[in-house]
Amino acid sequence: MRKIREVLRLKHELKLSARKIERCLELGHGTAGEYLKRAERAGLMWAQARELSDAELEERLFEQVGRNEPWVRAPVDLAMVHMELRRAGVTLQLLWSEYQEAVAEGGTSKKPYQYSQFCELYAEYRRKLSPSMRQVHRAGEKAFVDFSGKKPRIVDRATGEEIEVELFVMVLGASNYTYAEAVRTQTLPDFVGATVRGLEYVGCVPEMLVPDQLRSAVKMPDRREPEINATYAEVGQHYGTAIVPARPRKPRDKAKVEGGVLIAQRWIVACLRNRQFFSLEELNAAIRELLEKLNTRPFQKLEGCRRSAFETLDRPAMKPLPAQRYELGEWKLNVGVNIDYHLEYDHRHYSVPCALMNAKVDVRATATIVEVWRAGARVTSHERSYGPKGTAVTKPEHRPRAHREWGEWPPERLVGWAKTKGPKTGEVAAAILARGGHPESGRRACLGLVRLGERYGEERLEAACARALGVGNPTYKTVESMLKRGLDKVKPAEEMEAKAVVHENIRGGAYFDREELDAASAAGEIEARYWDEERFAIMNEPRADTAGEGPGDSRREEVKTGNTTEKIEARYWQGDGFRSMDEAGADPGCTMDVVSDAWPPARDAGPTPASWSLPELIEQLRAAWERPRTVHRGGPRGDRRGGDDSRTCTEGSACVALAGNGGKCEVGREESGQRACGMDEAMCEADEDRRVDVTNMLHRGEVE
């Protein structure tokens, strides 16, 4: 824009010459005179020109307005350029080339910007997007804290390994007074300890502490309402200051400490780059020396130094330190109280009043004490335990009354209390305590025993204890079972009578007391002899056509057994023993067991076998077979025919008399496990050593 207005003002108001006007406005030679001549020809005076705009003045003095103006360039959508640059792979060079192509295809007379001007326009646009607010820090208002990104190192003396440590920096807002310290980590104990030592170095307390939202300071980061870590909030309460974290990813909120960290890196960390330190103490001693030089180093554009500015501005406006130093305490919020009115902290258990069972409390723990808080009030405290994991710390007043009395019952008192219910009750209690390896193992049983007396009465309890001692089982469960079933009211004699039960399916103990008799023994048994004699008498009843033959005679006959004809020679009972019955041509595997009833009838119980008819004889045999019987095996061990004596009765067969067709008597074979033996394998195996190999069963008589 031409400077016509200013030329007219200097000429008419200040009465300057054209040359002086050109020097003042840095115009070319003759330019001011040309403007004055054009105004004179147009009849334009200063009073009129003052009311006109620059465009109107130029229109009055020049016929071709804007003839000397530069070319109008095609505009650039800088907002679109800024958004496109956020996409992956997009550059200013690419966007400029696309801009040129769009201008060429638009068909306008405007020219595009070249690449350098395109980049300058965008850079100017970007600088205007986020203007920085100039912060004015009042004296004693804020102290900014942060950790340095560039870390100092210490050397492990044993291994020579270099270990990076953290550099903590605190800067006051008004005076830039700086504190720096090396700590091992950014964890809560190190962060809190560095903050406390920084306040002690300053010697006073600001109104606010401004950290960033690291985990040691903020539990739940948030742009608007960050949740302060309970321990760090307690630091603020102890020193009477507020904790105001900066916004996440907004370093300008704490620009003071960002600049202070940069200065600490340059004037502390860089100065120690050629030195080796083997401990944090050595490193912090060197940092303290350089820190004093930094705080006393003069400002470049201001008067004084950081220390003088602190003494003048910040110290008078800050609060003094509290009399007691803060002791680090770690908080654990919303801790549940178990049903045993204990809470868990650091794998140890601490008691609370039993009224808080199943409640939620807050725990604060220091190196020496554990405090329990609820609703902002301290409930109780314990000395911190460093015992084995699982150790319980309990105060007696926290227990319910019943639990307090539990530990006041030694074994002697338990037995004495049981004796007040009765002497037998005391004996049972003493037996219960003596049975366990430790008195504690029987304490609950003894207390339960006494409680039974309250439920059932002392008299019944005493009777049940006496009965338990009588049966030799003095335990809590035995006494309880007797009381539940009323056995304490039943006398022993009545109990024995009540146990006698008579039933056809119950054989009684006498059945199992019978002895299996060995017919081959030297003396034999009278019962076996008698029954064998009766059986052979039945089987050898004389017929009409053979009445003359005596019992001692021997007779042979052929008996049809299926397809086999066997000659059986029967030798009758003679003298004191049982003579063998030899089988001629019989199967060596055919053996026979002589079966006798366990309870034989007396001789005078009824008609003699000689007077029985054949149907009666068969019926008597069937009845004798169905009654309980004992197997008597006679003869020496082993098979008389040289067979293997290890065979059981199930391996052989026995001959039995059957009533066949037409009244003929046939000898049939059946498995001994079904008819001949009539007993299970277990009975046969038990009597294996007393087995008798009887070869044939003799059957006399014919059916007419």
Instruction: Please tell me whether residue 330 adopts helix, strand or coil conformation.
Output: strand
Give the residue among 443, 341, 346, 357 at the shortest CA–CA distance from 396.
341
Judge whether 211 and 245 are in contact, CB under 8 Å.
yes
Q: What is the pLDDT of residue 669?
A: 39
- 181-188 CB contacts, 8 Å cutoff, 24+ apart: 181/284, 181/287, 182/152, 182/154, 182/280, 182/283, 182/284, 182/287, 183/280, 184/280, 186/147, 186/214, 186/216, 187/216, 188/216, 188/229, 188/231, 188/232, 188/330
| DSSP labels, 129-163 | TSPPPPP-PPTTSEEEEEE-SS--EEE-TTT--EE
Amino acid identity, position 44? L
Q: What is the pLDDT of residues 402-433, one digit of tens each?
A: 777 666 667 777 788 788 888 988 899 888 88
The alpha carbon dihedral of 268, 272, 278, 281 has a sign of negative
E strand intervals along 438-578: 556-561, 564-569
C-alpha 687: how far from chain center? 61
Tokens of 269: 């960390």
**Predicted pLDDT at 12:** 85
Predicted confidence at residue 123, as pLDDT, reads 93
Q: Give the count of alpha carbons within 13 A of 314, CB side only.
A: 26
Residue recorded with tokens 């007077």:
611
**CA–CA separation, 649 vs 684, rounded Å?**
7
**At CA 355, angle to CA 352 and CA 360, rounded to 5?**
65
Q: State the Cα–Cα distance between residues 687 and 18, nearest whole angstrom.
A: 156
242-243 and 208-210: which strand pairing?
parallel
SS3 annotation, 41-88: HCCCCHHHHCCCCHHHHHHHHCCCCCCCCCCCECCCCHHHHHHHCCCC
280-309 as b/e: b if 16+ CB within 10 A: beebbebbeebbeebbeeeeeeeeebbbbb
Instruction: Write down the pLDDT at residue 121.
Output: 93
pTM of the model: 0.47
Q: Are 329 and 193 in contact (CB under 8 A)?
A: no
Burial class (CB in 10 A: 0-12, 13-18, 19+), 576: exposed
pLDDT value, residue 487: 86
Q: What is the pLDDT of residues 451-474, one digit of tens each?
A: 888 889 888 989 999 989 988 889
- C-alpha span between 35 and 364 (Å, rounded): 85
Question: Residues in the chain with pLDDT < 50?
Answer: 1, 515-523, 543-605, 629-704
